[in-house]
């Protein structure tokens, strides 16, 4: 095994700026001052995101970034863009005179097409390329990734991590969208999603999928964002002259059609739900088609649709219109979109999901939405194809809807208000730190100890602090290590849970249990009890839905380190609680009704116990027996009948002696203000049984992952002593209070009756 300090150094994902130091003079003078400033920052960072509003020249900026990275690496650069944007990017590169500079720009469909300079392809073609061949990778319109499946996003992230220099460009980041931020941060390699959550976010409510910024972390979050990205709506946001980037007037026109009664209804209604909205759109389709068609004159028009039938009817109704639909070939789509940009097509009929990203259509100032969806981003992007910097005329946007569809428009407009406010906040927050290059700081590591007669609580890394514990001195070790991928505790590289896979978790966990560490301090013949659960594979993170065998990985690792796998207990869990808390598709009754092939049982907990080889020289006489130990034990025969079962059942009215899922230390006590909580999955009832079964009074119970002190709290109450270690200072401080409280409860229980009465 590697030295532990070397392992921590290798594990760290934090790196200094990996970019290239350049001067402004090295960037093309064709770019505006603010564009050169952004390009220089991105090149010096090496991995960067540009969140710039439409029309601010992201294409020119990414081309110059790519040219300089190519110059430095002497390797080809790959620019990945939405469909039909590749040729547009090629045309814009002509403004930079790359041919005179000896820089080739090539449209590539596969690795065989790659030229020595800059290469442009579509997102759909990425799997035809070898990432290791490129010196830099650019994602144009990177926010489009949320419309791709999670498996594809994971493949893209894996692809990007083989490329040293990376750039992401988009006009519509979502500052409140955790998933989109994670996608960008992981693509750039600045931070893993799990670590980002641990550092800046806390769960909002009782669900595992709702997150909000920790109150105390707001400032640090925006400073961190400014270390790897830049956000602006105008050059003025960066302190530059914005007079050349003032948008013309945007004029919105509403055409509201009297509603008809949709099929299946007795009278017209305002469509609220998705089914009602679809019914209303079908009922009003012909009237909307007629109204939209009547608006078209001889000037250029872009006609946006929501339904396939709308697109089909409009392309038939509008003279000279060209239709681009999803089923068309890539070549046809690209040809039509470019011909419209060049003025060869009078009216273009298509969907925002097909052509709403990346295209520059400033020559067109007339837009009609013949059909609307509830997607604000599609609505925004569709408008910004024409209403962007460089547009010389006022832009007229015609929205054609029926009375019953006004809820769709209201929904989109409300989203527009919120997103506009959020983007303003994003720019305002980052503006204070845009001129700085700030790397996030890992959690400060420090050590401390608190001792009493019944416990010793250590702050620090237990791999190192176990060296302070005497050999063969621990009677029992019981603990719940972090469950990889389920909870986030800290951003420290010393945190065994700060990993993105079971394999990396096991790699770190191994350092805790070797013969020099936990194995050394445990008495021969005694047990180490590990509480865990299996880990779910999620589509958003792993690219598939299923179960990953964390339990088996731990058993294998412990055996490799010399431990004897002595047995295990399965701890029953309530499926209704898991379904409600985690919104697990495989546990929801609606999944049973829709497709039971995706169903699974609730995940049980396991208490795995491993024995250190050797003779136990201090037998634990736990059973209450006049025959064997003169009644000196503490576990009755009735208790043993229940505890000897391979399943420890959960508490319920008909089984009051079971394990209560809510029997845990007060999780609220572990919160820093109102901002973070410690998740304590190990029930006190489980700890109590382990302590009573596998340790004797006054022996030492040890936990290397003490958290807020659950194992110690129960050990002290059960008449044992405790040594615990915790990495995070907030949890350590709460653990000390819990252990002090438990010690008071233990001593109060020990008092003779007359002394207890006096104290009371």
Contact 551, 607 (CB under 8 A): no
pLDDT at 434: 53
- Is the domain of 634 the same as that of 609? yes
* Per-residue model confidence (pLDDT) at position 392: 86
The residue out of 206, 229, 244 marking a domain boundary is 244
Q: Best-predicted range by mean pLDDT among 379-388, 411-420, 422-431?
A: 379-388
pLDDT (tens digit per residue) in 135-156: 999 999 887 666 555 566 777 8
What does DSSP assign to residue 534? -
Residues 402 and 475 both lie in one domain: no
Question: Which of 209, 244, 279 is where one domain is finished?
Answer: 244
Q: Which residues 6+ apart lie within 8 Å of 758 measured at CB?
A: none
pLDDT tens figures, 306-343? 889 999 999 999 988 999 988 888 888 888 888 898 88
| Mean pLDDT in residue range 99-114 | 92
End-to-end CA distance of the chain: 57
A 10 A CB-CB count for 191 gives 22
Residue 5 included in any domain: no
Average pLDDT, the chain: 84
Lowest mean pLDDT among 62-66, 260-264, 657-661, 720-724: 260-264
**What pLDDT is recorded for position 46?**
93
pLDDT bin (cut points 50, 70, 90) of residue 12 is: low
Beta-carbon neighbour count of residue 8 at 10 Å?
A: 18
The Cα-based distances of 648 to 541, 570, 611, 662, 713 in angstroms read 32, 6, 21, 15, 21
The whole model's pTM is what? 0.57
Which of 244, 279, 307 terminates a domain? The answer is 244
Q: CA 149 to CA 207: how far, in whole Å?
A: 23
Residue 712 lies in a domain: no
Q: Is 716 contained in some domain?
A: no
420-446 pLDDT, tens digit each: 776 777 777 766 655 443 334 456 789
SS3 of 415-484: the string is: HHHHHHHHHHHHHHHHHCCCCCCCCCCCCCCCCEEEECCCEEEEECCHHHHHHHCCCCCEEEEEECCCCC
E strand or H helix that includes residue 402: strand 395-402
User: Which carries the bigger pLDDT value, residue 359 or residue 295?
Assistant: 295
Neighbours of 603 (CB within 10 A): 18
Q: Is 208 helix (H, G, I), strand (E, B) or coil?
A: coil
543 confidence band (pLDDT: 50, 70, 90): low
Name the most confidently modeled range: 15-19, 70-74, 92-96. 70-74
476 and 413 inside one domain: no
pLDDT in tens, 610-654: 999 999 999 999 999 878 777 789 999 999 999 999 999 998 877
CA distance 715 to 423: 52
Q: Region 72-78: what's the mean pLDDT?
A: 96
Task: Determine contact, residues 394/249, Cβ cutoff 8 Å.
Answer: yes
How does 449-488 read in b/e, with b if 16+ C-beta sit within 10 Å? ebeeebbbbbbbbbbbbbeebeeeebbbbbbbbbbbbbbb
Q: Is residue 219 part of a domain?
A: yes
Helices 308-317, 274-295: crossing angle, 10 deg rounding: 10
Provide the domain count of the chain: 3
What is residue 437's predicted lDDT score, i.e. its pLDDT? 39
- Residue 447 in any domain: the answer is no
Higher-confidence position of 205 and 520: 520
The verdict on 255 and 226 lying in the same domain is no
Co-location of 240 and 252 in the same domain: no
pLDDT of residue 114: 96
Whether 36 has a pLDDT exceeding 80, the answer reads yes
Count helices and strands (H / E) in the chain.
26, 26
The answer to the question of residue 450 being in a domain is no
pLDDT digits (tens, 9 = 90+) for 247-267: 889 999 999 888 666 555 555
Q: Which domain holds residue 427?
A: 247-431
Q: What is the CATH number of the domain that holds 259?
A: 3.40.50.300
Could you tell me what percent of the chain has a pLDDT over 70?
Answer: 84
CA–CA separation, 760 vs 748, rounded Å?
10
CATH number where 680 lies? 3.40.50
Does the residue 143 lie in any domain?
yes
Quick one: pLDDT at residue 33? 92
Q: Domain check: are 225 and 282 in the same one?
A: no
* Residue 306 vs residue 666, higher pLDDT: 306
Rounded to whole angstroms, the Cα distance separating 397 from 253 reads: 6
Q: Between β-strands 564-571 and 546-548, what pairing exists: parallel, antiparallel or unpaired? A: unpaired
Give CA–CA dist 105/116, Å, rounded: 9
Are residues 254 and 120 located together in one domain of the fold? no
Q: What is the CATH number of the domain that holds 40?
A: 3.40.50.10810
pLDDT for the residue numbered 674: 40
Verify that 157 and 292 share a domain, yes or no: no
For the chain, percent of residues with pLDDT exceeding 90: 43
Does residue 132 share a domain with residue 26? yes
Name the nearest CA neighbour of 52 among 238, 251, 220. Answer: 238
**Would you place residue 269 in the very low, low, confident or very high pLDDT band (cuts 50, 70, 90)?**
low
Highest mean pLDDT, choosing among 90-99, 269-278, 299-308: 299-308
- 482 and 601 inside one domain: yes
pLDDT of residue 212: 74
> Is the confidence at residue 355, as pLDDT, over 90?
no
> Using one digit for the tens of pLDDT, what is the confidence trace for 476-507?
999 999 876 555 556 678 888 877 688 989 99
Helix (H, G, I), strand (E, B) or coil at 202: strand
Q: How high is the pLDDT of residue 97?
A: 87
Residues 224 and 332 in one domain: no
Judge whether 3 lies within some domain.
Answer: no
Q: Is the pLDDT of residue 744 over 90?
A: yes
> Is the domain of 307 the same as that of 364?
yes
């Amino acid at each position: 095994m590697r030295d532990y300090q070397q392992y921590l150094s290798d594990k760290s994902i934090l790196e200094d700026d990996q970019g290239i130091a350049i001067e402004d003079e090295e960037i093309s003078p064709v770019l505006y001052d603010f564009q050169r400033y952004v390009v220089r920052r991105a090149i010096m960072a090496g991995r960067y995101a540009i969140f710039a509003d439409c029309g601010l020249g992201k294409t020119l900026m990414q081309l110059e970034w790519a040219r300089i990275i190519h110059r430095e690496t002497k390797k080809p650069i790959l620019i990945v863009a939405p469909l039909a944007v590749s040729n547009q990017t090629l045309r814009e590169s002509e403004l930079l005179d790359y041919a005179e500079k000896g820089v080739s720009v090539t449209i590539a469909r596969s690795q065989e097409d790659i030229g020595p300079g800059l290469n442009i392809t579509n997102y759909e073609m990425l799997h035809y390329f070898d990432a290791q061949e490129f010196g830099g990778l650019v994602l144009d319109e990177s926010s489009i990734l949320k419309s791709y499946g999670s498996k594809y996003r994971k493949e893209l992230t894996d692809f990007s991590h083989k490329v040293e220099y990376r750039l992401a460009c988009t006009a519509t980041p979502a500052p409140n969208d955790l998933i989109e931020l994670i996608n960008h941060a992981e693509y750039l390699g600045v931070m893993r999603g799990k670590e980002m959550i641990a550092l800046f976010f806390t769960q909002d409510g009782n669900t595992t999928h709702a997150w909000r910024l920790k109150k105390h972390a707001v400032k640090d979050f925006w400073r961190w964002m400014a270390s790897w990205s830049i956000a602006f709506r105008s050059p003025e946001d960066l302190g530059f002259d914005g007079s050349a980037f003032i948008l013309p007037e945007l004029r919105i026109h509403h055409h509201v059609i009297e509603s008809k009664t949709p099929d299946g209804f007795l009278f017209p209604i305002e469509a609220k739900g998705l089914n009602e909205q679809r019914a209303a759109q079908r009922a009003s389709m012909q009237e909307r088609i007629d109204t939209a068609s009547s608006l078209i004159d001889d000037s250029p028009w872009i006609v946006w649709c929501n339904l396939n039938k709308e697109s089909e009817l409009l392309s038939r109704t509008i003279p000279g219109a060209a239709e681009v639909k999803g089923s068309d070939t890539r070549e046809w789509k690209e040809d039509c979109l470019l011909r419209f940009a060049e003025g060869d097509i009078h009216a273009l009929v298509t969907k925002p999901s097909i052509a709403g990203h990346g295209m520059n259509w400033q020559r067109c100032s007339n837009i009609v939405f013949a059909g609307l969806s509830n997607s604000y981003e599609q609505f925004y992007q569709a408008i910004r194809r024409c209403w962007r910097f460089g547009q010389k005329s006022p832009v007229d946007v015609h929205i054609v809807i029926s009375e019953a569809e006004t809820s769709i428009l209201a929904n989109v407009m409300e989203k527009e208000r919120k997103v506009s406010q959020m983007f303003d906040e994003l720019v305002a927050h980052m503006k204070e730190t845009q001129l700085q290059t700030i790397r996030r700081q890992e959690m400060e590591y420090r050590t401390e100890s608190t001792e009493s007669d019944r416990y010793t609580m250590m702050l620090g890394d237990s791999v190192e602090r176990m060296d302070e514990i005497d050999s063969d001195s621990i009677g029992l070790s019981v603990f719940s290590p972090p469950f990889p991928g389920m909870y986030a505790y800290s951003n420290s590289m010393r945190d065994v849970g700060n990993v993105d896979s079971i394999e990396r978790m096991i790699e770190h966990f191994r350092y805790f249990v070797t013969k020099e560490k936990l194995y050394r301090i445990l008495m021969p013949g005694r047990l180490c009890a590990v509480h865990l659960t299996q880990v779910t594979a999620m589509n958003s993170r792993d690219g598939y839905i299923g179960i990953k065998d964390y339990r088996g990985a731990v058993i294998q690792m412990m055996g490799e380190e010399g431990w004897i796998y002595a047995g295990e207990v399965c701890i029953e869990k309530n499926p209704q609680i898991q379904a409600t808390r985690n919104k697990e598709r495989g546990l929801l009754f609606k999944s049973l009704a829709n497709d039971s092939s995706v169903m699974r049982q609730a995940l049980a907990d396991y208490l795995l116990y491993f024995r250190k080889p050797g003779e136990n020289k201090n037998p634990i006489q736990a059973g209450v027996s006049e025959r064997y130990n003169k009644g000196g034990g503490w576990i009755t025969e009735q208790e043993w009948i229940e505890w000897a079962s391979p399943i420890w059942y959960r508490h319920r009215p008909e089984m009051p002696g079971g394990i209560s899922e809510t029997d845990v230390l007060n999780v609220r006590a572990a919160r820093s203000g109102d901002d973070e909580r410690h998740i304590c999955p190990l029930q006190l009832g489980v700890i109590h049984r382990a302590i009573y079964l596998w340790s004797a009074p006054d022996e030492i119970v040890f936990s290397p992952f003490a958290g807020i002190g659950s194992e110690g709290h129960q050990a002290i109450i059960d008449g044992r002593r405790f040594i615990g270690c915790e990495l995070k200072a907030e949890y350590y401080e709460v653990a000390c209070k819990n252990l002090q409280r438990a010690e008071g409860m233990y001593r109060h229980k020990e008092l003779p009756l007359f002394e207890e009465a006096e104290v009371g």
